[in-house]
Chains A and B, each alone.
Chain A
Amino acid sequence: MTLQSSLDIQARSATTTPSPSVRSSAAVAKLIDESKCIGCKACQVACQEWNELREEIGNNVGVYDNPSDLSASSWTLMRFAEVEDKDNNLSWLIRKDGCMHCADPGCLKACPAPGAIVQYSNGIVDFKQEACIGCGNCITGCPFNIPRISKKDNKAYKCTLCSDRVAVGLEPACVKTCPTGAITFGSKEDMVSYGEKRTKELQERGYANAGLYNPAGVGGTHVMYVLRHADKTEQYSGLPKDPSISPLVSLWKGAFKPLALLGMGVTALAGFFHYMKVGPNEVEDEKSREEA
Chain B
Amino acid sequence: MSKYLQRYSDQERMNHWIVAICFILAALSGLAFFHPALFWLVNLFGGGPWARILHPFIGVAMFGFFLISMLRYWHHNKLDDNDRKWLRQWRDVANNREDMLPEVGRYNGGQKVVFWITVASTITLIVTGVIFWRPYFANLFPIELIRLASLLHAVAAFTLIVSTIVHVYAAIWVKGTLRAMTRGNVSDAWAKKHHSNWHREVTR
Q: Which A residues are closer than 8 A to B by beta carbons?
A: 14-16, 110, 112-114, 131-137, 139-140, 145, 149, 151, 154, 246, 248-249, 251-252, 256-258, 260-261, 263-264, 267-268, 271, 274-275, 278-286, 289
CB <8 Å contact, B36 and A289: no
| Nearest CB of A to B89, in Å | 15
CB <8 Å contact, B34 and A260: yes
Cβ of A113: which chain B residues have Cβ within 8 Å of it? 39, 48
CB <8 Å contact, A252 and B151: yes
Q: Contact partner of B138 among A136, A284, A285, CB < 8 A?
A: A136
Cβ of A274: which chain B residues have Cβ within 8 Å of it? 94, 169, 173
Q: Which B residues are closer than 8 A to A by beta carbons?
A: 2, 32-37, 39, 42, 48-49, 51-53, 94-96, 98, 132, 134-135, 138, 143-144, 146-148, 150-151, 154-155, 158, 161-162, 165-166, 169, 172-176, 187, 189-190, 193
Interface majority SS on B: helix, strand, loop or mixed? helix
Q: Contact partner of B148 among A145, A248, A256, A275, CB < 8 A?
A: A248
CB <8 Å contact, B150 and A154: no
A254 to B5, CA, bound (A): 49
For the complex with contacts A112-B33, A137-B33, A140-B147, 15 further pairs of A-B residues with Cβ separation under 8 Å are: A134-B49, A135-B52, A136-B135, A140-B132, A154-B49, A249-B150, A252-B150, A252-B154, A271-B169, A271-B172, A274-B94, A275-B172, A280-B173, A284-B189, A285-B189
A145 to B139, CA, bound (A): 12
Q: With A113-B39, A246-B144 in contact, do A134 and B94 touch (Cβ < 8 Å)?
A: no
A-B interface, 10 closest residue pairs, ranked by CB to CB distance from nearest:
A133-B48, A271-B169, A136-B134, A112-B33, A14-B36, A252-B151, A248-B147, A133-B52, A260-B158, A283-B189
Interface majority SS on A: helix, strand, loop or mixed? helix
| Nearest CB of B to A238, in Å | 12
Cβ of B146: which chain A residues have Cβ within 8 Å of it? 139-140
Cβ of B96: which chain A residues have Cβ within 8 Å of it? 278-279, 281
A135 to B131, CA, bound (A): 12
**How many A-B pairs with Cβ below 8 Å?**
133
Cβ of A132: which chain B residues have Cβ within 8 Å of it? 48
CB <8 Å contact, A133 and B135: no
Cβ of B34: which chain A residues have Cβ within 8 Å of it? 112, 257, 260-261
Cβ of B165: which chain A residues have Cβ within 8 Å of it? 264, 267-268, 271
CB <8 Å contact, B51 and A16: no
CB <8 Å contact, A281 and B52: no
CB <8 Å contact, B98 and A281: yes
CB <8 Å contact, A261 and B42: no
Cβ of B151: which chain A residues have Cβ within 8 Å of it? 248-249, 251-252, 256
Cβ of B37: which chain A residues have Cβ within 8 Å of it? 16, 261
- 16 CB contacts below 8 A, A to B, read A113-B39, A134-B135, A135-B134, A137-B150, A139-B146, A249-B151, A256-B151, A264-B165, A271-B169, A274-B173, A278-B94, A279-B96, A280-B172, A283-B189, A284-B189, A284-B193
Which of B42, B49, B162 has most A Cβ within 10 Å? Answer: B49
